[in-house]
Amino acid sequence: MTEPTPAAAHDLGGEIPADRTLAFDGVGVELAGTRILSDVTLSLAERRIAVIGENGSGKSTFARLLGGLVAPTRGRVSIHGHDLVAGRKHVRRLVGSVFSNPDAQIIMPTVAEDVAFSLRRRGLGKAEIAERVDATLERYGLAERADAPAHSLSGGQKQLLALCAVLIAEPSVIVADEPTALLDGRNSRLISGLLLDELPQQVVLVTHDLELAARCDVAVRFEGGRLLEVDAPAGVIARYRQDLG
């Protein structure tokens, strides 16, 4: 895969908001009668936020809350000053989500169509959409594959495509739930480098890769559906490693 040029990664912006606080106040989530998250209260304004914890601890549910994919059954969530529930339409534009499985994120038949799909209902003309899609694919090294079937890309390219589909919509925060879990070392470095070092957006990174978590500005640890701690990554990770044994 072609490496994106450093300049390219920097100018694909999204507005950088003055208030980048992610605030949770007494938040709980129940799904199908089961309590999945309880009493989550925290406020985060760091750019790179790691979310760690054991399997089933509630990380993905936390990520899905931020992405507007599950609703809080208790409490309030606000994203950059906008209430997640009351301001749902706006919040949906603020947040972009990527997941582990790049195949599951492909919506449209070709690479270019898949990226263009993110700009639907924005009131943009065809020519402008095409221009933005071309520019995004060019920046991230996928231009040559623009008309290829999206499913024909390699796993790493598909994850890059998923990220392009998020970035073209210019979110202020990117929620990435184990985005490198299925990638080889090189593509994992590419995607994590973009998320943690190159993009200007706030990033919430759910990961079992504790080296990636260590590169973040703050780490949040969940256990059994509850927030266990929020602190500088080194300490949170060290205590987590100890508990894992």
Ligand X SMILES: Nc1ncnc2c1ncn2[C@@H]1O[C@H](COP(=O)(O)OP(=O)(O)OP(=O)(O)O)[C@@H](O)[C@H]1O
Binding site for Mg ion (CB under 5 A): 60
Q: By C-beta, is 1 or 69 nearer to ligand X?
A: 69
User: What token pair was written down for 41?
Assistant: 């209260």
Report, in Å, the least distance between residue 108 CB and ligand X. 26
The CA-based dihedral angle spanning residues 71, 75, 79, 82, taken in that order and rounded to the nearest 10 degrees: 100
Helix or strand (DSSP H, E) at 61? helix 59-66
Report, in Å, the least distance between residue 108 CB and Mg ion. 26
Q: By C-beta, is 59 or 80 nearer to Mg ion?
A: 59
Q: By C-beta, is 60 or 202 nearer to Mg ion?
A: 60
Neighbours of 32 (CB within 10 A): 5
Residues in the chain, total: 245
Contacts (Cβ under 8 Å, ≥6 apart) of 192: 179, 180, 209, 212, 215
Q: Which of Mg ion, ligand X, none interacts with 56 (beta carbon under 5 to 8 A by kind)?
A: ligand X
Amino acid at 223: E
- What residues from 24 to 83 belong to the interface with ligand X (CB under 6 A)? 31-32, 34, 36, 53, 55-61
Q: By C-beta, is 60 or 78 nearer to Mg ion?
A: 60
Residue showing the smallest CB distance to Mg ion in the complex: 60
The residues of the shown chain that bind ligand X, judged by CB under 6 A, are: 31-32, 34, 36, 53, 55-61
